[in-house]
């Protein structure tokens, strides 16, 4: 069920999703740079970039076959994610799969400018950028613990 109107609350099981939404809004260009750099490094592989929140937020990559296997194990509840993966255009969109609290959240958006332009405009080393984004994520998630 989708909720429209008021934003996600910062309570219960959805707190991590609301925190990730905030992170994406605040770091869209940097996430686009990292996604495009990952795409350039991996080429036509079936690897997907993700964010694992446990034990501390960090970037991961995993294969599409891992998502397909998980989909089979959860009675095809991830069909929509697989469909979005099929239609993903890395030249126009950014796509990450976040893992938190035993759930998946798809982070999919079209930044302005598109990912290749964000990458060209950036002078950041990808490892340094990933470390910086992980630190920002850790800050956001430590805020939620101190407010609980």
Who contacts 32 (Cβ-Cβ below 8 Å, separation ≥6)? 94, 111, 114, 115, 118, 119
**CA-based radius of gyration for the chain:** 15
The predicted structure's pLDDT at residue 44 = 80
Task: Provide the mean pLDDT of the chain.
Answer: 89
pLDDT, position 73: 95
pLDDT in tens, 14-50: 889 999 999 999 999 999 999 999 999 998 888 999 9
Q: Cα separation of 55 and 137, whole Å?
A: 12
Residues 81-91 pLDDT 10s: 999 999 999 99
Cα separation, 41 vs 35, whole angstroms:
10
Q: Model pTM?
A: 0.87
Whether the predicted pLDDT of 52 surpasses 90: yes
When pLDDT is averaged across residues 64-88 and rounded to a whole number, the result is 94
Domain segments of the chain: what residues? 14-147
Residue 110, pLDDT above cutoff 60 = yes
**Is residue 81 within 8 Å of residue 104, measured between CB atoms?**
yes
Both tokens assigned to 86? 């099929």
User: What is the spatial distance between Cα 20 and Cα 141, in angstroms, rounded to a whole number?
Assistant: 9
Q: Nearest-CA neighbor of 114 among 19, 36, 17? A: 36
Those residues whose C-beta lies under 8 Å from the C-beta of residue 128, and which sit 6 or more positions away, are: none
């Amino acid at each position: 069920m989708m909720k429209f109107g008021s934003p996600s609350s910062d309570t219960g099981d959805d707190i991590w999703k609301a925190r990730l939404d905030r992170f994406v809004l605040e770091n869209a260009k940097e996430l686009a740079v990292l996604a495009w750099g990952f795409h350039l490094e991996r080429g036509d592989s079936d690897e997907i970039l993700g964010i694992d929140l446990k034990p501390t937020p960090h970037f991961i990559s995993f294969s599409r076959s891992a998502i397909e296997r998980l989909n089979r194990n959860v009675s095809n509840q991830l069909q929509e994610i697989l469909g979005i993966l099929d239609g993903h255009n890395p030249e126009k969109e950014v796509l990450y799969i976040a893992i938190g609290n035993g759930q998946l959240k798809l982070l999919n958006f079209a930044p302005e400018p598109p990912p290749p332009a964000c990458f060209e405009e950036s002078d950041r080393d990808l490892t340094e950028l990933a470390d910086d984004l992980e630190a920002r994520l850790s800050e956001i998630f430590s805020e939620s613990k101190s407010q609980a």
